[in-house]
Chain A
């Protein structure tokens, strides 16, 4: 049964002042019609999401990421524990005034076009007509759907659907934005665009919770992450802290001459330092792809040709 109540916001202690969302010993067990245990989706989860941060929920498929999000949004009822958003129960409808949600698949009404979609969701926030119209116009420009604003959503591509899905999540300029697998199904350009948007939202002071199993995307944008596996919290902390390899030192310089390189090796050997890798660093495939696409758009018809360095071979 729903625990929806309108509870007054208690005075927060200094420790909890900036907590936007919180899971306290949160568990979710799926049962069948007769109440028999079927699956433990989440087990005693404790975490909180601070104001202004981008929080990532990581884990393989079935680890409980989406269940956690649904519990925080009030789409599911906890078996035990509490899910709080802005210090209110997750099932309290009033908290929805301040949140935005992009589901995994942008579940939108396919018979509506972009303008109608945003108009519908805007009305649900009791936005006055003029404010709503201006907001819709702005959002459609922001998500680059101006040319397609009158087409029904059933004719949209995956990327366009995600963009309009994001627009509806931002229609009320929410303080807390929940993104479930935001880059799922997007091409590298779309992924880059989404990540840039997340960063921009963070810079505007928004709090973002995103779940993903695409590790690189989470690494690029998240401040803190929680790693779930089989419904349990396995790791929680800041990304840079978690990823730091404390038993290694990395030095990046401009290209060294062979003599300089030999001297560096000599110094390191003298200090009994074991060299794991000394070579030109590699960029990421994403950066390579984006640079090629940007170059192609700037100079259409020309193929970008790189000359191999001496000693390198094309496979």
Chain B
């Protein structure tokens, strides 16, 4: 998942009563109350009020005491058992399979991809590591406890002083350790694969080298300053080169998502040799300082959205060229200490053409720096935009100009004139090409802070996979405490599916529950689960309204609480898309540390709730039945 807006710092989010985790604790309390009430009612029906009250209290108090008296040694004993069993059942074969997948990966990874880093990282981390690991851990975790019941090995365990809290935690801990070991192996091998696959260099073709030598041998007045050639073919691609013979540093053309620096060096004979370095921008982790995006319409008035050209993603809208329309970003926390030399702005522009022109020809645009309070605007920074290509612009701290309304310019400084007292600055973009459009989303323009090491960013991406594995293991173990292994497998797989498609399910449910829209006359067809089933059986299309009969009203009465329940479940299930930070790593951006904290807290909180439920289920269960 790509994050469009700045992620609030962890403590800021934690203490936010409206959007923070306060509601998680409320939900936990609600779950405990509901479970207790349901348990009491079941015991009441079976055994009467006195026994029901005593037993409900006993379970709750006993579970609490179990948690207080957890013994690390016993938990470790249970976890070690899981590790031993998995090792002796040869789970390490999966690692061999992983190695084989990577060995032959280069055969079926597309050689012509424009972003080999994204493809390789996506392949390694997403398909090989993430899916393989989650599936393996899902299968292992759901069979463990049911097998104990089936083989009755649980008898010899629960007749030892092992509480259910330790039993369940030991299983979870064992599988988490197992998964961690496997993930570490996969992560290391995957990293080596990326290095081996992506890090490469070229040489200038012999013909080009010969041309350079000949050029050098000419008298100075006859020499050409710019020479054009090619690099050799490496990793199934080569680069075009426009070499400035007067410069010590040149660059190859930006192709396949990267370019190489070309360094001129004198050899022992005094001849200039050109060495091509490894690509710097293939495995990188750019730190984005994101801002809040707003637009100005054709009349120059502020608006939240630009023009909708009809085919784009909802967070992206467009500005018309050669008009007062602009997109501008407000950046916070711009301090002289951090940006004393200036701002490096990176931008990615989407192009929408209403006039064909030359399809590859870049379009002209302008960028301005502006004070959010005084609206003082800098001179334009003109650029040529290519569709989806990342471009950068350096805004120096000094040497800027203010354009006055009478057309005159005066010298200006970034922090003195354009950054306000709250540390905010605006960056605005306009399209200069008539009848063409620039598309913008919030993260398309950002201030590039110093990169973090790709290795560290890779570790963060792996950590997010680990959090997903933690959630899957917890679910698998907890489901298996009260249902059989195949049912637990289905339940956990269903849970995983819900987690991967949380957004889709949420939209499906809320579209049926949008009472405000319904009050405004907008009707949603299709209905909830019961109505949908009815439509399937009667082959009534989802766009056709049903007659308002008593039966239909009854169906909708049943559907409404079901939809609410679905919504609750959907919101309770972790959104695995949030944890899919591999796209961020693949695109060469840093995963914000605050995001890691958020995801870690959510994952652990969810696992805590699942764990508490697991303890309760095990305490309710007769082991020998």
Contacts and interface: CB of A to CB of B under 8 A. Distances in A.
B59 A103 contact: no
Interface in B49-91: 52, 54-56, 58-59, 61-62, 65-66, 71, 73-74, 76-77, 80-81, 84-85, 88-89
A2 B159 contact: no
B58 to A, nearest CB: 5
Contacts of A168: 156
Given A70-B624, A77-B622, A123-B77, A103 B156 contact: yes
Given A4-B62, A5-B61, A5-B62, A93 B84 contact: no
A124 B160 CA distance: 7
Nearest to A102: B156
Given A4-B59, A4-B62, A111-B89, A75 B158 contact: yes
B620 to A, nearest CB: 6
B46 interface: yes
Given A76-B622, A124-B161, A2 B73 contact: no
Contacts of A111: 84-85, 88-89
Given A2-B62, A120-B80, A105 B152 contact: yes
Interface in A93-122: 93-94, 96-97, 99, 101, 103, 105, 107-109, 111-112, 116, 120-121
B41 to A, nearest CB: 11
A59 interface: no
Interface in B25-66: 39, 42-43, 45-46, 52, 54-56, 58-59, 61-62, 65-66
Select the residue from B52, B619, B624, B625 with max chain A CB neighbours within 10 A: B624
A1 interface: yes
B151 interface: yes
A91 B73 CA distance: 22
Contacts of A74: 158-159
Contacts of A77: 622
Nearest to B62: A4
A269 interface: no
A20 interface: no
B155 interface: yes
Given A3-B55, A124-B74, A107 B151 contact: yes
B55 A99 contact: no
A96 B74 CA distance: 14
A97 B160 CA distance: 7
B625 A109 contact: no
A125 B155 contact: no
Interface in A51-69: none
A172 B58 CA distance: 28
Dominant SS among interface residues on chain B: helix
Select the residue from B43, B73, B74, B157 with max chain A CB neighbours within 10 A: B73
Contacts of A73: 159
Contacts of B625: 30, 76
Contacts of A112: 81, 84
A101 B157 CA distance: 10
Given A1-B620, A2-B59, A126-B74, A121 B156 contact: yes
Interface residues of B, number: 45
B161 A125 contact: yes
Contacts of A120: 77, 80-81
Given A4-B62, A111-B88, A121-B160, A35 B45 contact: yes
A3 B66 CA distance: 14
B162 interface: yes
Contacts of A4: 58-59, 62, 619
Interface in A1-49: 1-6, 30, 35
A189 to B, nearest CB: 25
B159 A75 contact: yes
Interface string B321-343: 00000000000000000000000
Contacts of B152: 103, 105, 107
B197 interface: no
Given A1-B43, A2-B619, A111-B89, A101 B155 contact: yes
Interface of A: 1-6, 30, 35, 70, 73-77, 93-94, 96-97, 99, 101, 103, 105, 107-109, 111-112, 116, 120-121, 123-126, 165, 168, 172
14 contacts: A1-B42, A1-B55, A6-B62, A75-B159, A75-B623, A96-B161, A107-B156, A111-B88, A112-B81, A123-B74, A123-B77, A124-B77, A124-B157, A124-B162
What are the nearest 5 A-B pairs in CB distance?
Answer: A123-B77, A75-B624, A1-B55, A107-B152, A124-B160
Given A76-B625, A103-B156, A121-B160, 9 more contacts: A1-B43, A1-B58, A1-B619, A2-B59, A4-B58, A6-B62, A96-B162, A97-B161, A124-B160
